[in-house]
């Protein structure tokens, strides 16, 4: 019987300890970049709706997450600004800003429901039902969010369009544009649009 000879490749040269240390440092650097890019335990809510039921849902989510230790940011734009109003101030506004001010709710206690509003009777009905179930009202949830250090931002562009002044909103409010909010939201694990 004849056997065929197989050739075995010579062993590859082993990297030097210095080369291994360099590769290890490069891998550690990559891991740090990947870990740094991971979203943080943050929740960002983009609050566009001015409907009582949707605003209650937004604040229940925000306060629940904040109570669990999650950092929460809420960004109020257009009709969502009605949830964080504390006063209606018309001094210094243009005629059209005053008209819009009188056509919109003056605060969280006067926002309509999205369905079954029934010329304003719907919110009264829902508030009565919530009271019977010992549920917090929208103004109470707004206050709870402030107490839990939920970061609340008013959209400066929406405020300018709708003629809403900073002094009309909660004292704890901060103000920014969409770019600043998106920078904040980019670090969040969860982003919701309500």
The predicted pLDDT at position 33 comes to 78
Find tokens 């800003």 and name the residue: 97
- CA 129 to chain CA centroid, Å, is 28
The predicted pLDDT at position 10 comes to 63
90: CB partners within 8 A, 6+ apart: 97, 98, 101, 102
Half-sphere exposure of 188 (CA within 13 A, CB side): 19
The predicted pLDDT at position 181 comes to 92
The predicted pLDDT at position 39 comes to 63
**Residues 82, 88: Cα–Cα separation, whole Å:** 10
Architecture of the domain whose range is 51-193:
3-Layer(aba) Sandwich (3.40)
Dmax (CA) for the chain in angstroms is: 109
Q: Which long-range contacts (CB under 8 A, 24 or more apart) does 96-100 make?
A: 96/163, 97/162, 97/163, 98/163, 100/162, 100/163
78: CB partners within 8 A, 6+ apart: 48, 50, 155, 158, 161, 162
Domain ranges of the chain: 51-193
Share the mean pLDDT of the chain.
89
Sheet with 188-193, strands from edge to edge, namely 174-176, 151-155, 71-76, 40-47, 188-193
Residue 64 has pLDDT above 60, yes or no: yes
With cut-offs at 50, 70 and 90, classify the pLDDT of residue 4. Answer: low
Give the percent of the chain with pLDDT over 90.
Answer: 57
> What 3-state class would DSSP assign to 139?
helix
pTM over 0.75: yes
pLDDT, tens digit, 9 for 90 and up, residues 141-194: 999 999 999 999 999 999 999 999 999 999 999 999 999 999 888 888 899 999
């Amino acid at each position: 019987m004849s056997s065929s000879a197989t050739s075995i490749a010579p062993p590859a040269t082993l990297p030097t300890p210095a080369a291994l240390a360099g590769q290890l440092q490069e891998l550690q650097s990559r891991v740090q970049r990947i870990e740094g890019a991971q979203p943080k335990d943050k929740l960002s809510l983009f609050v566009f709706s001015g409907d009582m039921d949707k605003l209650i849902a937004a604040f229940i989510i925000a306060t629940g997450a904040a109570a669990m230790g999650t950092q929460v940011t809420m960004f109020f734009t257009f009709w969502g600004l009605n949830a964080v109003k504390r006063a209606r101030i018309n001094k210094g506004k243009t005629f059209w800003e005053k008209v819009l001010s009188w056509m919109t709710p003056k605060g969280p206690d006067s926002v309509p429901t999205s369905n079954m509003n029934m010329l304003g009777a719907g919110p009264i009905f829902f508030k009565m039902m919530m009271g019977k179930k010992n549920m917090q009202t929208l103004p109470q949830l707004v206050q709870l969010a402030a107490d839990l250090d939920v970061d609340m931002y008013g959209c400066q562009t929406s405020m300018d369009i709708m003629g809403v002044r900073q002094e009309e909103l909660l004292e704890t409010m901060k103000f920014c544009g969409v770019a600043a909010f998106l920078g904040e939201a980019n670090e969040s694990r969860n982003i919701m649009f309500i």
